[in-house]
Amino acid sequence: MPWTELGESVAIPMLRVRPSLLMPVSALPHLLSRRLLAAAGSVAAVFGSACAWAAPALRNGAQAVPQPLPLWALVQAAVLLGLLALAWRMCSLARRHEQEDTLSRAMLDHSPQLIALMTADGRVRRMNQVAHQWMGDSAEALTRAPIWLHPAWGAEPGQAERLRQAVAQAAAGATCRLELRLDHGAAGTRLADLSLRQVPTGPNGGARHLLLEARDVTVRRQAEDKLMLAGSVLEQTHEGILITDAHGVVLSVNPAFCKITGYGAEEIQGQFPAALKAGMDDPRLAARMHRSLARCGHWRGELRTLRKDGTPLAAWVSLAHRLDPGGRTSHLIAIVNDITQSQQTEQKLLRQVHFDTLTDLPNRHLLTDRLVQALHTARRNGDTLSLLFLDLNRLRDINDHFGHSAGDAVLLEVARRLRDSLRDVDTVARLGGDQFAVLLPGTPADGAQQVATKLVERLAQPCHVGDLRNAAGESVGQELSLTLSMGVAVYPNDAEGAEALMRCADTAMYRAKQEGRGQWCFYTTEMQQRSVRQMQLEAALRRAEERDELRLHYQPQLAVTRSGEIAGQVIGVEALIRWQHPELGMVSPGEFIPLAESSGQILAIGTWVLRTAVRQMADWVREGLAPCVVAVNLSALQFRDPGLPELVQAVLEEAGLPPEYLELELTESVAAGNPQAACAMMDRLHALGVRLSIDDFGTGFSSLNHLKRFPIHTLKIDQSFVRDITTDADDRAIVQAIIQMAHALRLTTIAEGVETDAQADFLRAHGCDMVQGYRYCRPQPPADALAWIHGQRQRAGESADKPATSPLPAITDTTVAG
Ligand SMILES: Nc1nc2c(ncn2[C@@H]2O[C@H](COP(=O)(O)O[C@H]3[C@@H](O)[C@H](n4cnc5c(=O)[nH]c(N)nc54)O[C@@H]3COP(=O)(O)O)[C@@H](O)[C@H]2O)c(=O)[nH]1
């Protein structure tokens, strides 16, 4: 439908034409011509009248005498001619009007905007083709009701009201702009930018209509939205974005870029990207970057540089170029991810996997890697290497005594000394706890020997570990002396593979530890055999009790006689375990007890010993053996078991043996770690009424200060002092000192391992209270031991000899529950 006038008469000078409502403008000329033809008909009629007036005279053949025309005829003719001229003029005017109208229509219809003329009450009077397209079939409805009631404008709530208000304001003379969402039929919802204003439409500006112009801004708005979105992404993203021109001059950076690099935008814009330039110092990297940009338009990689404050920045950068329509680079866009933190975390994790957190030394994992690598190289070059395993002695004591921070300080000091003593190509590792390892590539056995000697010496030097304090908070000095046990294994002599070599070094270290503190030794195949036997024993020991392979032997303990006669009164027996294995034969406790201690089996075995010995003594007392005490060895592990007093009490009650018939032999080591805890445990045991003695006295590290506080009855002089008592002046001096000190502390003494009369004489002469040893009786099975005791008592009774002292406390009740 073309541009249309809708229901208004058009004023034409001198001729009022009233076309029907909605009649097309193009019909106007036809209408006008009809009227003019009618006028022409009138002219013809007048002309006909004139002719009729002249005709009779001509028909009668009369001499035609020119007759003057009557005036009315002339006037009529003139009028007619005038009318004809006017009709002609009207026709050409109508034609011109029609042409202009066609042009205006074309102009309006081909405008991309919606254009409509409205009345002040919002009814559309004329509209262009775009309006028809936008409104579709419902366009005609616009003429009948105000525009805001049209369904197309009511797509959004409140929109109709806004339009109504805008029409009212425009009618009042204002120019209104508003944006409306328009339901555009099949094309979907569109966004229209509307302008409404009053325009004059009558002659001399008399009549006024409202001109509505609307543009479809959907695409533009979408583009603007996209731009806004892109802008806010740029603003809010955590990735730094930098845009340069083709020459690399920075055009813009986003806030994240400034945050990452520490530079303000104003410091970077207009500059070369100095913040990232540091990474470009590597010419190979720069070349790779340019090649990649030229080949595929982008580059990705890691750059390392410095932030403005000089701290290191690791960035993952994506670089892309933008081309202009001519295919030339117009911009470079860099997206920068700060990976410093994640890299640091990654490195930290990697370090944790490979390094010991306390000492920062390689851990077992990394040592194994390096050993595998070193073995590979040695194999290829026909070379050798040595591996040392080190175990720091007494770390547990240091921890217990001075706290874990002191233990840590010691470990750090050991790590430092080891590192300082070795070459850069060597590896010092901490295997965990108190164990270290040293890998010496290209070092044969003699070189390893030199290193081992050096390490023992370096570590033996006093260790200053700060102001150490004991558990009571007392300052205990700042120096500790360290010792270590070290095992050395050499490739290719001892083993070919990494694992096997590590096992060898470990076995040698274990052997060195068994042999005494501050020792080191090379691995030997004999050690291997020994460790195989140890594994066999350990496995067999687990089933020894249930297979009834364990036995107790008893060795009498005698009071020293006044006269110096060898035999004295039997005042007790020591229970000593024996293991008779069906295939392995008799296994010495000296061999299996340490194994039971290291595997923890000693707790079960120790309970069996305690129960068996107590039952045995209860039986003997019932048979009239009293007064006699049974001494049971307790290992340090048993002693540290908090349930020990309850166990002892239960075992005594179970057997019906009064507590004073039981003596528990503790070694000095139970007290060395944590004397306070040891003292508390001894107090609990003492409270049960049992006797306590310190075994192997003189070999450990007892502090006399602690000793005086322990509720013990007896000190047992170690047999290593007794053995050479007749030949070694030092041993003699030690034994004398122990006896004197014990007496000063009101403790009794017993010497173990007495084998000769000379030893017995010396002990008696210096006041030792009791003796035990092969000189009197070897450890025996219960029946033999009992027989020996009865025989001895008889002998002692016959000799009427009395003990020098009364070493046993009065046993108040010898009645044993039966
Ligand atoms: N925790 C436990 N330890 C125990 C137990 N039974 C024994 N042991 C300890 O095992 C070590 C070896 O014991 P054993 O082979 O029995 O040796 C003891 C005696 O037989 C031996 N002895 C006694 N008299 C002499 C002698 O005149 N000469 C000589 N060469 N040896 C002699 O001495 C050992 C006694 O040791 P001690 O306990 O120090 O008195 C040993 O350390 C036992 O302690 C057990 O049940 N639990």
The DSSP secondary structure of 74-135, one letter per residue, reads: HHHHHHHHHHHHHHHHHHHHHHHHHHHHHHHHHHHHT-SSEEEEE-TTS-EEEE-HHHHHHH
Specify whether the CB–CB gap between 125 and 118 falls below 8 A. yes
Q: Which helix (H) or strand (E) holds 602?
A: helix 602-622
Q: Assign 160 a pLDDT band (cuts: 50, 70, 90).
A: confident
Q: Rounded CA gap, 526 and 554, in Å?
A: 33
pTM across the whole model: 0.50
Cβ(698) to ligand 1 under 6 A?
no
User: pLDDT at position 18, please?
Assistant: 37
Which residue's structure tokens are 């070795």?
422
How far is CA 662 from each of CA 617, 693, 742, 782, 811, rounded to the nearest angstrom? 8, 11, 21, 16, 11
> What's the pLDDT score for residue 685?
97
Rounded to 5 degrees, φ, ψ at 22 are 70, 15
Mean pLDDT of 192-208: 84
Read off the DSSP letter of residue 10. B
CB atoms within 10 A of CB 701: 10
Higher pLDDT, 331 or 613: 613
Quick one: which of 207, 199, 10, 178 has its CA closest to 117? 199
Cβ atoms 766, 738 nearer than 8 A: no
Q: Does residue 817 have a pLDDT over 50?
A: no
Q: Which of 96, 72, 104, 86 has the alpha carbon at shortest distance from 39?
A: 86
Q: Of 297, 302, 295, 305, nearest to 273 (Cα)?
A: 305
Residues 6 or more apart whose CB falls under 8 angstroms from that of 737 comprise none
Give the pLDDT of residue 187. Answer: 64
Atom 12 (ligand 1) nearest CA: 590
Cα 598 from Cα 87, distance rounded (Å): 136
* CA 779 to ligand 1: nearest atom: 20
Which of 111, 80, 97 has its CA nearest to residue 31?
97
Q: What's the rounded Cα separation, in Å, for the pair 521 and 509?
A: 7
Report yes or no: 674 and 641 within 8 Å, Cβ to Cβ: no
Q: How far is the CA of 774 from the centre of ligand 1 (A)?
A: 12
Cα 609 to ligand 1 centroid, rounded to whole Å: 14
Model confidence at 608, pLDDT cuts 50, 70, 90, reads: very high
Q: Are strands 662-667 and 629-633 parallel, antiparallel or unpaired?
A: parallel
Nearest CA to ligand 1 atom 22: 753
Distance from Cα 752 to the centre of ligand 1, integer Å? 9
Q: What angle do CA 302, 308, 313 make, to 5 degrees?
A: 25
Asked if residue 806 has pLDDT above 70, the reply is no
Distance CA 180, CA 195 (A): 11
C-beta of residue 549 within 8 angstroms of C-beta of residue 582: yes
Query: DSSP secondary-structure letter at 311?
Result: -
Q: Are 148 and 167 in contact (CB under 8 A)?
A: yes
Q: What is the C-alpha separation between 716 and 732, in angstroms, rounded? A: 15
**pLDDT band per the 50, 70, 90 thresholds, residue 115:** very high
* Residue 492: cis peptide before it, omega within 30 degrees of 0: yes
**For residues 670 and 694, what is the distance between their CA atoms, to the nearest angstrom?**
10
Can you list the alpha helix ranges (DSSP code H) found in 695-814?
A: 704-707, 719-723, 729-744, 757-765, 782-799
- Number of CB atoms found within 10 A of residue 735's CB: 25
In this predicted structure, the answer to whether residue 206 has a pLDDT above a threshold of 90 is no
Cβ of 753 less than 6 Å from ligand 1: yes
Q: How far does residue 637's CA lie from ligand 1's centre (Å)?
A: 18
Give the CA angle between residues 469, 474, 475 to the nearest 5°: 55
Give the atom of ligand 1 at the shortest distance from the alpha carbon of 553: 16
d(CA 51, CA 206): 50
CB 589 less than 6 A from any atom of ligand 1: yes
**Dist CA 36 CA 86 (whole Å):** 8
CA of 592 to the centre of ligand 1 (A): 12
**Which of 648, 671, 678 shows the shortest CA–CA distance to 661?**
648
Q: Which residues pair with 714 in a beta bridge?
A: 693, 748
Return the pLDDT at 723: 94
* pLDDT score, position 807: 41
- Is the CB of 774 within 6 Å of ligand 1? yes
Report whether pLDDT(16) > 50: no
Least confident of 281-285, 426-430, 562-566: 562-566
Lowest mean pLDDT: which of 8-22, 266-280, 597-611?
Answer: 8-22
Q: Which of 404, 626, 390 is nearest to 518 (CA)?
A: 390
Q: Is the pLDDT of residue 406 over 60?
A: yes
Confidence category of residue 299, pLDDT binned at 50, 70, 90: very high
- Rounded CA separation 185/157 (Å): 18
- DSSP label at residue 143: G
442 in helix, strand or coil?
A: coil
Tokens of 555: 């060795």
- Residue linked to tokens 């006008």: 32
Contact 767, 739 (CB under 8 A): yes
H or E element in which residue 270 lies: none
Query: Quick check: 780 and 786 in contact, CB under 8 A?
Result: no
* Predicted local distance difference test score (pLDDT) of residue 269: 86
Type and span of the H or E element at 340: helix 340-354
